[in-house]
Amino acid sequence: MRLWPAIWAALAAAALALALWARLPAGWLWPPQAMHLPMAGWITAGMAWLTDTAAIGPVTFKDLTRGIAAVIEAPYDAARVLLVDGITEGKGRKATVLVPPLSWVAVTVAAVALGHYAKDLALGLLAGALMLYLAVFDQWDSAMVTLASIAIAVPLGVAGGLGLGIAAWRWRWVERVLSPVLDLMQTVPTFAYLVPVLVLFGFGPVSALLATVIYAMPPMVRVTLVALRAVPSEIVDFADMAGCTQTQRMRKVMLPVALPDLMVGVNQVIMLSLNMVIIASMIGAGGLGADVLASLRRLDIGGGIESGLAITALAIVLDRLGQALAAKAGGVRAAEGSWPRRHPRTVLVLAVILASGVLGLLVPAVQDWPKDWTVTTKPFWADLMEWINVKYYEQLEALRVWVLEHVMLPVKGFLLALPWPLVVGVATLAGWRLGGLRLAALAVALGLFLAATGLWEQAMITLYLCGVSVAIAMALGVPLGILAASSERAGKVIGTVVDTLQTLPSFVYLIPVVMLFRVGDFSAMIAVVLFALVPAVKYTAHGLRSVPEELVEAGVVSGATRWQILRKVRLPMAVPMILLGLNQTILLALSMLVITALVGTRDLGQEVYIALTKADVGRGLVAGLSVAAIAILADRLIGAAAKDAKARLEGGT
């Protein structure tokens, strides 16, 4: 075992020497042209065959996509009628509203009632206040468009994930097939989903809904599988003894028992659907996401922040309600008396809907929040950015230049100067050391895939941006996590900040960063650090809090100081959890790097974005799969390292 440090030291020295002094032929520095496979062309040709030629009897693939679009479009149109458009006669500006949509009063009261039902009045008032915020800040119409999309995407994602999870639980071969597919779905950049969906279904809300469902479904599949496996075997045996069929056992026994865990999956689908709001707006989703995207393109700092905060408000409402409903699932419910007595909140909401609908015809302010009553902070944010730029321009520019010259560009030059066989070899050796032959084989396969795409340079730039961003995020996150775990007051403050960072849409980070530092790698790095910082903080704090108190007390009894206990007891025991935080930080950084392509990076994310603008399916998917290859390799290597660290701790070594 002592040989490994010497091996890594020798490899590091060799890499440094090759990067600094060696002058290697192009075929050794980057994969030669002979290795490149025309994968993008193959995928594009396959997609063209699907859209133009593929058919099963008289039914063409186009007919199938039209059918899927119609199935999704019908409930979406119904949701828009309920929340946005109402029932109208005619089209466009000549349309006459016959029945208005739900008023802001009705939706706000419904949010309060649902919060009260799910937990208590405090949650109901929070939900109502946040919905009122949307109206006061003139974000109501866009928020209802977004809510209509979520109202359709979430049930589709939950139903699809539940069905696939049940199939994976029942048939092991389904699980074996789904596992790598789910890995790809969770690691391929979201932009890459948009390209084939755009080609197959065209520009519009249906395509956006499909992309959202594809992105949000995988956690529901995994949660369903875990929840069903956690059902006690005695309950399953009892159902079999009672003569239940497989369907009855699943519907009447297993799913009700697993309901609390399944609700956690539903909450994840809701939050991931909201994460797709802005990205899906690129192919016609509309709503708050379109507002944020338009503000980013105009560099409208105030408009972008207001729309981003509106998404955050909607996310908090749905997240808190989802968590409360998950905790309530499976609990005892009263079922006595007539229907109105058993459902007083529903009766109240229906009464408010009817009353506000009628009263809104006489008093427009009841139906739509008056424009004269709206509030805006756009000038404040614009003035704040201008003040910072004027007052601190020299300091900010000096920081940008110093970090670029002394950190980012040297790392970029080092990685681009490494011979590609050495990079693949080091990844393979790390896989062998941490996970044995299987992980080493996976590292070889993924490394050769990157070499064969013809995108090696872009992959190394992605690796450089991700590496620098993750290193800075961990350098900030681990100390913050230690502070949060060491002090209850600091923990509350830091927890509030990181929760806010977690709920802000990823695009919102780009607007102030670009305003302060202009486009380029440095701006991308800052945005990635802010977005990926949360797991570094949370996992570190959780790992330190999870250290058994007996070990801490033993250190105190032995005379160790607080610093010694932290350094020699708490941190070593928290290493597996910190490594898991590192893993999540890397995955978030890679997902954010695709979005930062909008600020001028030249990595794989830029390839995906260019493919989206040109509707080039092959180019987009190959670049997206390349990002997924890096993410999967990092995930497997760090997961193996965390497992190894945990085994060492449990073994007392």
Has residue 131 got a pLDDT over 90? Answer: yes
State the chain's mean pLDDT as an integer.
83
Least trusted range by pLDDT, from 327-336, 388-397, 406-415, 509-518: 327-336
* Range 1-22 average pLDDT: 71
Query: Cβ(262)–Cβ(162) under 8 Å?
Result: yes
Average pLDDT over residues 164-189: 83
- Please report the pLDDT score of residue 413 as a whole number: 86
In sequence order, which residues have a C-beta less than 8 Å from that of residue 641 and are 6 or more positions away? 434, 579
Quick one: pLDDT band at residue 544, thresholds 50, 70, 90? confident
pLDDT at 653: 47
Span of 13-22, 433-442, 490-499 with lowest mean pLDDT: 13-22
Q: For residue 180, what are its two tokens?
A: 């790598």
Query: What is residue 90's predicted lDDT score, i.e. its pLDDT?
Result: 67
422-423-426-429 Cα dihedral, nearest 10 degrees: -100
Crossing angle for the helix pair 617-651 and 39-52, to the nearest 10 degrees: 120
Q: What is the pLDDT of residue 72?
A: 84
pLDDT exceeds 80 at position 331:
no
If one compares 422 and 92, the residue with the highest pLDDT of the two is 422
Burial of 429 (0-12, 13-18, 19+ CB in 10 A): middle
| Domains of the chain and any CATH numbers | 61-99+148-331 (1.10.3720.10), 102-136+340-368 (no CATH), 380-418+456-651 (1.10.3720.10)
Q: What is the pLDDT of residues 141-159, one digit of tens each?
A: 999 998 888 888 888 988 9
> Among residues of the chain, what percentage have pLDDT more than 70?
94
Give Cβ neighbours of residue 555 (< 8 Å, ≥ 6 apart).
564, 565, 568, 569
More confidently predicted of 444 and 190: 444
590 pLDDT above the threshold of 50:
yes
Q: What's the pLDDT score for residue 651?
A: 61
Which token pair is 45? 């040709």
Residue pLDDT, tens place only, 238-294: 877 777 777 878 888 888 888 877 887 887 788 788 778 777 777 777 788 888 888
Full-model pTM:
0.81
The pairs formed by 128-136 with CB atoms below 8 angstroms and a separation of 24 or more are: 130/313, 130/314, 130/316, 130/317, 131/104, 131/107, 131/313, 131/317, 132/104, 132/108, 133/310, 133/313, 134/310, 134/313, 134/314, 135/104, 135/108, 135/369, 135/374, 136/369, 136/373, 136/374, 136/375
pLDDT, residue 309, reads 86
DSSP assignment, residue 85? I
What is the arithmetic mean of pLDDT over 626-645? 85
